[in-house]
Amino acid sequence: MPRQKSFNTSDWFRKRIAYLTVFVQLIILVLLGRLWFIQIVSGHKFEKRAKENRLRLIPLKAPRGLIFARDKKLLVNNRPVYTVSIIPQGVQELPTVVKKLSRVLGLSEQEILAKIARQKKRRFQPVKLLPDVDLKIISLLAERKRDFPGVIIETEYQRNYLYNKLAAHVLGYVGEISETLLDTPEYRNFYQGDLLGQQGLEKTYDNYLQGLPGGAQVEVDAYGRERRTLYTRKPVPGYNLNLTLDLSLQQAAEEALGELIGAVIALNPNNGEILALVSHPAFDPNLFAGRISSGDWQALNDNPWRPLVNRAISNHYPPGSTFKVITATAGLEEKIISPADIFSCNGSFRLGRLVFKCWKERGHGSINLEEAIIHSCNVFFYNLGYRLGREKLIKYAYLYHFGERTNIDLTNEVSGLIPTPQWKRAVLNQSWYPGDSVQFAIGQGEVLVTPIQLANAYAALANGGTLYKPMIVKEVKTVSGQRIRLFQPKILGKIELGPKTLETIRLAMWKGVNRFGTGRRTYLKGRDICGKTGTAQVADVEYNEKNKEETAFKLRPHSWFVSFAPYKDPQIVLLVIVEHGGEGSSNAVPVARKVYEVFFEGQPIDTEMIESYRYPYMASWARPKTPAAGENPETTDADQLSTSDGNAEPIELQGQPRSGQDQPSAPGDKERNQP
């Protein structure tokens, strides 16, 4: 049906076509204007964002340094831990991949899908499927990469303590850096999840062990998969530590201590090197290497025996009788007594209305210094302490560096306590009584020492008076073996101990082990061990063989045995403390014996008995010098001269009457106690 008139030739139609043309131009111009704005005006902004999209800086963690015991025996290394993850986005045949994965990993399909679903919100992030996957499975996945699109293997290095609990308190443990530390400026280069030494050497040497993390700039696609690496800075592995610790001795010490609660320290008295340091109960630092489970953490914290505490340095104890040799050196050096001075022990020491008991009810009778040490007579040392007085007692305690930290390279060392009148006034609001000095002399009362302090003091006795800072790290080396630091023995202080003093004390300790003393259970033929036991009261409780069973465990005294060997040229100081172990001679001494057995294993037995074995009651300077077979005659003359010079005088000077003058109450005691 044709129209009468066609409108598309009319004027208004022409006009409308023209308007429409303008409209089309306007639309195109709007688009072009916007494009100009996006691409030209703010192009650089979007360019930056495109870069942020595709570039990722992947931190490459530096492997922590290794820790070796003496003789390059590996103690701590890093174990690769493989985590299998998946980036599900962009994987076309996800169900088949999941099916294959479930077969390989041993997870059910539902489990995998649930894990993927749980992370739906954070797109493009790898979903962790299984941590700590076996290497066999990893290599299988790596070989058949094409069959597992989207699956990625992340490698992390986990601290691995090869001997589990061995030397746990020395090595310490690592843990993830805390949120609060991350915020501090010193740790600004750290990332969340980075490991930091938390205890022990891991903490004190963290700067060396840490290494320098590297990084890789990679180009990733929209699903976070790496396409190519643009730039890499390799991480520098942490430095290795070579310890002074002797692996076999450490093992022996841990075995010897067994299930007993306490500590064992073995160190070289000539340079302060720690050979073994045991604290029991211990913990397995591997537990902390991953993320410690709350159950394990709870168990460690709730354990009443506090396995995390390093008893060798972080606990202090009354030293008990082990302190007597310290008092003895003070007495000899201050010339309060001479080795020949005799006191009488009738089982107790009376000071005004106070009575201080000896452990032997019947008393030791007339006893000299050497015997007092051998038999650990309290009354002798009560007398000595009384005569020394508090100032000299405290002075000598400080000379042996009691009451202050040794600054061993381990964490949480405590300083122990040497009571002073000031301290007593401030803390207990009491003044110092002579009774305090009497208690002080036998290492009871308020005196508290750490095992490491005591071992160090005995080391000074063994080496002639030098106090070394206990050393546990010998050197720091790079992975390639370049030495970064070598630690030299560091001297904390020196005590002037005369040769006579030393010999008297050492000989008494030798006899205490080799002849008749409290430490004879550790007697090893030809090893010439010198030692002193201690039974440190923890409470004012009578404790003896009879009521042993009834006394509550926590009230039982700690048992000590501190020793060095061999007599002539001491190579080792060995300290054993068994918490609440009862008498030192029964509990601590057998532990020490086992350690000595291992220490001396393979060393030729010294068949030449020391001189004094033949003259059991005399120090060398007091006995007639008879040249032994094979001895150099040239030195013999000189020795004889010097010893004969020093012989006569002290004996005469330090006689019985002098001690009687110093202590008015003593004669009365003696009269009563004389059989």
User: Which residues contribute to the site for other proteins (CB under 8 A)?
Assistant: 1, 3-4, 6-8, 12-14, 16-17, 20-21, 24-25, 27-28, 30-32, 34-36, 38-40, 42-43, 45-47, 49-50, 53-54, 90, 123-124, 219-223, 227
- CB of 85 vs other proteins, minimal distance in Å: 19
Asked if residue 266 lies in contact with residue 141, where contact means CB atoms within 8 angstroms, the answer is no
Under a CB-based contact definition with an 8 Å cutoff, are residues 647 and 621 in contact?
yes
- The single-letter code of the amino acid at 231 is Y
**Looking at this protein, which amino acid is placed at residue 672?**
R
| Minimum CB–partner distance for residue 125 and other proteins (Å) | 10
d(CA 567, CA 610): 8
Least spacing, CB of residue 33 vs other proteins, in Å: 10
Q: Does residue 126 have a cis peptide bond before it, meaning omega lies within 30 degrees of 0?
A: no
Which residue has tokens 């005004």?
Answer: 352
Our CB check for other proteins shows the closer of 15 and 103 to be 15
Of 47 and 391, CB closest to other proteins:
47
Long-range contacts of residues 33-40, Cβ cutoff 8 Å, at least 24 apart = none
Identify any residues that bridge with 417 across adjacent strands, giving them in sequence order.
448
Helices 499-514 and 324-333, axial angle in degrees (round to 10): 150
Q: Rank residues 119 and 663 by Cβ distance to other proteins and give the closer one.
A: 119
Residue 287 beta carbon to other proteins: minimum distance, rounded to whole angstroms: 37
311 close to 451: Cβ distance less than 8 angstroms: yes
What is the token pair recorded at 84? 């299998």
d(CA 235, CA 320): 52
Tokens of 213: 């993390």
CB of 67 to other proteins, least distance (A): 43
**Shorter beta-carbon distance to other proteins: residue 18 or 628:** 18
In the bound state with other proteins, the residue whose beta carbon lies nearer, of 140 and 222, is 222
> Is the CB of 25 or the CB of 547 nearer to other proteins?
25
Residue among 42 and 665 whose Cβ is closer to other proteins: 42
In this complex, which beta carbon is closest to other proteins, that of residue 46 or of residue 516?
Answer: 46
Q: How far apart are CA 104 and CA 627, in angstroms?
A: 81
CB of 98 to other proteins, least distance (A): 21
* 8/422 with CB nearer other proteins: 8
Nearer to other proteins, 220 or 555 (CB): 220
Q: How far apart are CB 219 and other proteins at their closest, in Å?
A: 7
Residue 567: CB atoms within 10 A of its CB come to 23
Nearer to other proteins, 88 or 470 (CB): 88
Beta carbon of residue 52, minimum distance to other proteins (angstroms, whole number): 9
DSSP code per residue over 488-552: PP-EEEE----HHHHHHHHHHHHHHHHTSSTTGGG--TTT--EEEEEEE-SSS----TTTTTTS-
From residue 580, alpha-carbon distances to 82, 537, 554, 589 in Å are 46, 9, 6, 14
Rounded-to-integer distance, Cα 256 and Cα 330, Å: 33
What is the Cα–Cα distance from 81 to 63, expressed in whole angstroms? Answer: 12
User: How many angstroms separate the CA atoms of 395 and 401, rounded?
Assistant: 10
Residues belonging to the chain: 675
Q: How far is the CB of 2 from other proteins (least distance, A)?
A: 9
- Smallest distance, other proteins to C-beta of residue 149, A: 11
For β-strands 274-280 and 342-345, DSSP reports them as unpaired
User: At closest approach, how far in Å is the CB of 226 from other proteins?
Assistant: 11
- For residue 147, the minimal CB distance to other proteins (Å) is 14
Minimum gap (Å) between residue 87 Cβ and other proteins = 12
Q: Cα–Cα distance between 276 and 244 in angstroms, integer?
A: 8
Closest distance between other proteins and the C-beta of residue 93, in Å? 12
Q: What are residue 483's phi and psi, to 5 degrees? A: -80, 125
| DSSP per-residue string spanning 70-139 | GGGEEEEEEEEEEEEEE--TT-TTHHHHHHHHHHHH---HHHHHHHHHHTTTSTTSPEEEEEEE-HHHHH
CA distance 102 to 113: 10
Q: What span, in angstroms and rounded, lies between the C-alpha atoms of 654 and 364? A: 21
Q: What is the spatial distance between Cα 53 and Cα 56, in angstroms, rounded to a whole number?
A: 8
285: cis peptide before it, omega within 30°? no
Query: How near is the Cβ of 119 to other proteins at its closest, in Å?
Result: 12
Q: Which is nearer to other proteins, 20 or 653 (CB)?
A: 20
User: CB-wise, 124 or 432, nearer to other proteins?
Assistant: 124
Handedness of CA 664, 666, 668, 671 (dihedral sign): negative
Among residues 46 and 617, whose Cβ is nearest to other proteins?
Answer: 46
In terms of CB distance, is 6 or 422 closer to other proteins?
Answer: 6
